[in-house]
C-alpha cells in the first residue's frame, strides 16, 4: 500500500556520466576519511516573519494561526561549519553571501578553529574556489575538498539547515535582529548526536 511521504530533492544532472563518475570516485574515498577531521561548510538564509508550518488542532477542525507577511523584509544569510561534535563556526550577514562575506567568515571564524590535518569540505560555487579563501584554509595546515557537483547529499550540514530553519520558524522572528538571534541560538543547539546521525546518513564511516 502506498503512503504519502515528503519528496527528496534530486538533481537530474547527477545522471550525466561525468557527474556520476565524480560521485562514484568520491564514494570510494568517502569511507576512508577520518570524520574527526572533517569540517563541512555551507550557507543558507531566510527572512523575518517566518512562522511554523504545522501545529496541532482537534480532529476534524482546521488549524488557524498568523499568516506570514507578503513582504517578509530583508533576507539574512547564515554561514556555518559543522564538525562531528556540532557547529564549530558561524556568522550571519545581511543579504546574500558575497565572496567578501565568505572570506571574512573563513578568516575570522573558521580558520581559528582549524588544526593541521583538518579537511574542509564544501561545494563547487565560485566563492569557495576563491584563491584568498582557499589560502586562508591552507595557511592553517588544513586541506580543502570540493564535494562532487550536484551532490548536497554528501554534505551533512544540509540536514542541519532543515533543523535550524524549523527552530527559527518556532521562534517567529519579526525583525532582522530577532532573526539573527534565532539563527545563532538555533545553530548552537545542534549536538554531537545530531552531527553523527547526519554524517552516517550521508555515508561517512563512524568510529
User: Helix (H, G, I), strand (E, B), or coil: what is residue 104?
Assistant: helix
Average pLDDT over residues 62-73: 48
Angle, CA of 191, 194 and 199, to the nearest 5°: 125
pTM of the prediction?
A: 0.85
Q: Which domains does the chain have, with CATH numbers?
A: 22-49+75-201 (3.30.420.10)
**DSSP label at residue 124:** -
Find out whether 95 and 74 touch, Cβ atoms under 8 Å.
Answer: yes
What pLDDT score was predicted for residue 43? 98
Residue range 79-90, pLDDT digits in tens: 999 999 999 999
What pLDDT score was predicted for residue 3? 46
Q: Torsions phi, psi of 50, nearest 5?
A: -75, 150
Least confident piece of the model among 37-46, 61-70, 74-83: 61-70
Q: Classify strands 143-146 and 76-83 as parallel, antiparallel or unpaired.
A: unpaired
- Given a cut of 60, is residue 8 above it in pLDDT? no
Least confident piece of the model among 22-26, 73-77, 189-193: 73-77
Find out whether 85 and 71 touch, Cβ atoms under 8 Å.
Answer: no
Q: Which triple of cell numbers denotes residue 195?
A: 552531527
Residue range 121-134, pLDDT digits in tens: 999 999 999 999 99
For helices 176-188 and 157-171, give the axis angle rounded to 10 degrees.
Answer: 130
The confidence band for 71, taking pLDDT boundaries of 50, 70 and 90, is very low
Average pLDDT over residues 138-145: 99
Amino acid at each position: 500500500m502506498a503512503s504519502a511521504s515528503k519528496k527528496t530533492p534530486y538533481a537530474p544532472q547527477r545522471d550525466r556520466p561525468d557527474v556520476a563518475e565524480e560521485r562514484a570516485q568520491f564514494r570510494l574515498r568517502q569511507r576512508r576519511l577520518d570524520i574527526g577531521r572533517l569540517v563541512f561548510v555551507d550557507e543558507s538564509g531566510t527572512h523575518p516573519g517566518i512562522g511554523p508550518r504545522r501545529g496541532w488542532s482537534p480532529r476534524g477542525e482546521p488549524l488557524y494561526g498568523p499568516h506570514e507577511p507578503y513582504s517578509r523584509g530583508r533576507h539574512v544569510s547564515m554561514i556555518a561549519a559543522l564538525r562531528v561534535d556540532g557547529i564549530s563556526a558561524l556568522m550571519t550577514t545581511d543579504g546574500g553571501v558575497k565572496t567578501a562575506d565568505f572570506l571574512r567568515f573563513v578568516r575570522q571564524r573558521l580558520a581559528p578553529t582549524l588544526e593541521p590535518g583538518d579537511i574542509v569540505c564544501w561545494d563547487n560555487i565560485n566563492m569557495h574556489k576563491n584563491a584568498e579563501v582557499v589560502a586562508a584554509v591552507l595557511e592553517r595546515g588544513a586541506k580543502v575538498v570540493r564535494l562532487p557537483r550536484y551532490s548536497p547529499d554528501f554534505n551533512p550540514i544540509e540536514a542541519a539547515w532543515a533543523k535550524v530553519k524549523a527552530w527559527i520558524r518556532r521562534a517567529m522572528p519579526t525583525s532582522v535582529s530577532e532573526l539573527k538571534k534565532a539563527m545563532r541560538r538555533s545553530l548552537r543547539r545542534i549536538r554531537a548526536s545530531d552531527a553523527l546521525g547526519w554524517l552516517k546518513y550521508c555515508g561517512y564511516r563512524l568510529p
